[in-house]
Amino acid sequence: MTDDQPENARTGTATENVRIGSESAWTGSEQARAGSDVVLEARGVTKHFPLRRTARDLFARERRSVHAVDDVSLRLRRGTVTALVGESGSGKSTVARLLAQLHPLTSGEIRLGGAPVVAGRGRSFRRYVRRVQLIFQDPFASLNPVHTVRYHLTRALKIHGRAGSGEAELEENLAALLNRVQLTPPQQFLDRFPHELSGGQRQRVAIARALGADPQVLLADEPVSMLDVSIRLGVLNLLRDLKERLHLAILYITHDIASARYFADTTLVMYAGRIVEGGDSERVTQHPAHPYTQLLIASAPDPDRIVAEEEQEETGTGEPPSLITPPAGCRFHPRCPKAMERCRTELPPRFDLPDGQWAACWLYDGAPASEATAHGTVAHPGGVNGTAAKEATR
């Protein structure tokens, strides 16, 4: 990657000019840039998707709904990657869609550059997406098969008013975008159709399209999980490079906690619609506090695992609960080997741990911050609750 450094530098300046051009169109952001490095913030964001009414629900007082996301608060900072890790169905993609304003919130608020925003449709939505762009998981589906790379990128540039005046300038901007995602030489890729590109190249085009808006925030929803394993790191390294050069705030949504450790500065762990733990990536992966994070890490493939399989049983088993009727109290309690009586009834708040780590788990209630992680292992593993957990999951 070092040999195309001069090229990178060149494209950097080219798009810097464009950035200045677009800045005047959005003067409000100037304040935010100066004030704090938090670009996008979610405060108590909740999303319930109502279920279709059936005959059974006719007399029910409350309409049933899927509690996809409950009380999620997170901050995306300039120049950092925040990973949101969770299993499928944990609501992590819904968080990305809420942050992209693709769904209205049930409650809570989203603040962009310090000010609450509700982007409806039309112009206000477009103004929002100019700053917050979403990258999807499947580059085979997110690019239109009947259009060329040139069409995709030109459209993004035109919609966001960054196409420049005249053919030559447009051409220059297109080349700059492709250079930026390391699809070089650009001329070789501009007139290709998606099917002529490999998965990694397609995802790079999707990233270039997102960069066409010159955003401040990139929401990347499993950006590499559809790609071949040998090229995943190339795309992650590209995103990291973009983060550093463009000071982007990136939300990296993934199910792979090892890649979160590799790529993200901070990591949030999500379970059944709630964020259960957060902190510095290294801290969260090396000293997981929440029993769910511990389970996730114990389950991840690890060639170095020396512990015998039998010794791992206490991390718990089972499957995530139904989000239509989520368990009361802590949502992890039916599976948790360390569950206590109060876990069944009371929802644990965030407890702060050393080094900026926190966990929503009663194990850390009142525990001196320094002993917190050790305290976790004292609680009765297995026991009555363990068997209850197994029964609950059948």
Partner 1 sequence: MSAEPVLTISGLNVDYGTDKDAVHALRDIDLTLHRGEVLGLAGESGSGKSTLAYAVTRLLSPPGVITGGEVHYHRPGGDRVDILSLAPHRLRAFRWQELSIVFQGAMNSLNPVHTVHSQLTDVLAAHRPELRKRQRTDRAKELLSLVGISADRLAAYPHQLSGGMRQRVMIAMALALEPEIVIMDEPTTALDVVMQRQILRRLVQLREQLNFSVVFITHDISLLIEFSDRIAIMYGGRIVEEAGAAEIYRDPRHPYSDGLLHSFPALHGPRRELTGIPGSPPHLSAMPTGCAFHPRCGKAFVPCAAEIPVLTPPPAEPGRAVACHLHAPGRGAPRPGQQGVPGQVAPGPAR
We find the least distance from the C-beta atom of residue 161 to partner 1, in angstroms, to be 34
Min separation Cβ 393 and partner 1, Å: 9
- Tokens 């007399």 locate to 59
320 contacts 90 by C-beta, under 8 angstroms? yes
Fill in the amino acid letter for 119.
A
Q: Which C-beta is closer to partner 1: that of 200 or that of 223?
A: 200
Q: Which is nearer to partner 1, 38 or 231 (by Cβ)?
A: 231
Shortest spacing between CB 148 and partner 1, in angstroms = 19
Closer to partner 1 by CB, 30 or 228: give it. 228
Nearer to partner 1, 167 or 304 (CB): 304
Provide the minimum distance between the beta carbon of 310 and partner 1 in the complex, in angstroms, as a whole number.
Answer: 9
- Min separation Cβ 264 and partner 1, Å: 11
Rg (CA), the chain: 23
Query: Which three-class secondary structure string do you get for the chain?
Result: CHHHHHHHHHHHHHHHHHHHHHHHHHCHHHHHHHHCCEEEEEEEEEEEEECCCCHHHCCCCCCCEEEEEEEEEEEEECCCEEEEECCCCCCHHHHHHHHCCCCCCCEEEEEECCEEECCCCCHHHHHHHCCEEEECCCHHHHCCCCCCHHHHHHHHHHHCCCCCCCHHHHHHHHHHHHHHCCCCCCHHHHCCCHHHCCHHHHHHHHHHHHHCCCCCEEEEECCCCCCCHHHHHHHHHHHHHHHHHHCCEEEEEECCHHHHHHHCCEEEEEECCEEEEEEEHHHHHHCCCCHHHHHHHHHCCCCCCCCCHHHHHHHCCCCCCCCCCCCCCCCCCCCCCCCCHHHHCCCCCCEECHHHCEECCHHHCCCCHHHHHHHHCCCCCCHHHHHHHHHHCC
CB of 227 to partner 1, least distance (A): 9
Q: Are 225 and 255 in contact (CB under 8 A)?
A: yes
Rounded least distance, CB 164 to partner 1, Å: 32
Pair 180, 11: CB distance under 8 Å: yes
**Residue 39 or 323 with smaller CB distance to partner 1:** 323
Would you tell me which residues interact with partner 1 (CB under 8 A)? 1, 87-88, 198-201, 228-234, 237, 255-259, 261-263, 282, 285-286, 295-305, 309, 317, 319, 394
Q: Residue 282 CB, nearest distance to partner 1 (Å)?
A: 7
Nearer to partner 1, 70 or 265 (CB): 265
Specify the residue, 230 or 370, whose C-beta has the smaller distance to partner 1: 230
Q: Which is nearer to partner 1, 110 or 330 (CB)?
A: 330
Q: What is the dihedral of CA 352, 355, 357, 362, to 10 degrees?
A: -40
Least Å from the CB of residue 18 to partner 1: 29
Nearer to partner 1 among residue 43 and residue 255 (C-beta): 255
When the beta carbons of 109 and 228 are compared against partner 1, the nearer one is 228
**Dihedral over Cα of 29, 77, 224, 134: its sign:** negative
